[in-house]
Amino acid sequence: MSSYDKYQTPLATRYASQEMMSIFSARTRASTWRQLWVWLAEAEKELGLNIPDEAIQQMREHVTVSDKAFDVAREYENKFRHDVMAHVHAYGEDAPAAAGHIHLGATSCYVTDNADLIFIQKALDLILPKLAKVIQNLKEFALKYKDTPTLGFTHYQPAQLITIGKRACQWIQELVMDLEDIETVRERLQFRGAQGTTGSQATFLELFEGDADKIVELNKILCKKAGFPSTYPISTQTYTRKVDLRVANAVCAIGATAERIASDIRHLANLKEMEEPFEKSQIGSSAMAYKRNPMRSERIAALSRKLANLPVNFSNTFKAQWFERTLDDSAIRRMDIPEMFLLADSILLALDNVTNGLVVYPSVVRAHIDQELPFMATESILMKLAQHGVSRQDAHEEIRVLSHQASAVVKQEGGKNDLLERIKKSEFFKPVWGEIDGLVDPALFIGNCPRIVEDYCNGQVAEKLSRYQETLSKAETAQLSI
Q: For position 403, what pLDDT does the model report?
A: 87
**Residues of the chain with pLDDT > 90: what percent?**
78
- Is the pLDDT assigned to residue 283 strictly greater than 90? no
Range 36-60 average pLDDT: 98
Report pLDDT for 111.
98
Residue 478's pLDDT is 58
The band of 67, judged by pLDDT with boundaries at 50, 70 and 90, is very high
Does residue 480 carry a pLDDT above 50?
no
Q: What pLDDT digit, counting tens, does each position of 146-169 carry?
A: 999 999 999 999 989 999 999 999
Note the pLDDT tens digit of each residue in 358-379: 999 999 999 999 988 888 888 8
Least confident stretch, 260-269, 285-294, 453-462: 285-294
218-230: per-residue pLDDT in tens? 999 999 999 999 9
pLDDT tens, residue by residue, 98-140: 999 999 999 999 999 999 999 999 999 999 999 999 999 999 9
What's the CATH architecture for 109-151+166-360? Up-down Bundle (1.20)
For residue range 438-459, what is the model confidence (pLDDT) as tens digits?
Answer: 888 999 999 999 999 999 999 9
Q: What is the pLDDT of residues 171-204, one digit of tens each?
A: 999 999 999 999 999 999 999 999 999 999 999 9
pLDDT at 477 over 80: no
Enumerate the domain spans of the chain: 9-107, 109-151+166-360, 364-445
155 is known as an active-site residue: yes
How many residues are recorded in the chain?
482
Is 466 designated active site? Answer: no
Question: Measured between alpha carbons, how far is 22 from 367 in angstroms, rounded to an integer?
Answer: 49
- CATH tag for 364-445 (out of 3.30.1490.190, 1.10.40.30, 2.60.120.10, 3.40.50.1000): 1.10.40.30
Answer for the pair 247, 336: CB distance below 8 angstroms, yes or no. Answer: no
pLDDT, position 141:
98
Predicted confidence at residue 437, as pLDDT, reads: 84
Q: Evaluate whether 226 touches 191 at the Cβ level (below 8 Å).
A: yes
What is the CATH superfamily name and number for domain 9-107?
A: Fumarase/aspartase (N-terminal domain) (1.10.275.10)
Residue 285: pLDDT over 70: no
- pTM recorded for the entire structure: 0.92
**Where residue 482 falls among pLDDT bands split at 50, 70, 90?**
very low
Q: Tell me the residue type at 480.
A: L
Q: At what angle do helices 469-481 and 108-144 cross, to 10 degrees?
A: 70
Residue of 22, 230, 285, 407 with catalytic role: 285
- Catalytically annotated residue among 2, 155, 281, 481: 155
The pLDDT of residue 288 is above 60: no
Mean pLDDT of the chain: 93
CA atoms within 13 A on the CB side of 17: 15
Instruction: Write out pLDDT tens, residues 5-37.
Output: 889 999 999 999 999 999 999 999 999 999 999
pLDDT for 146 equals: 98
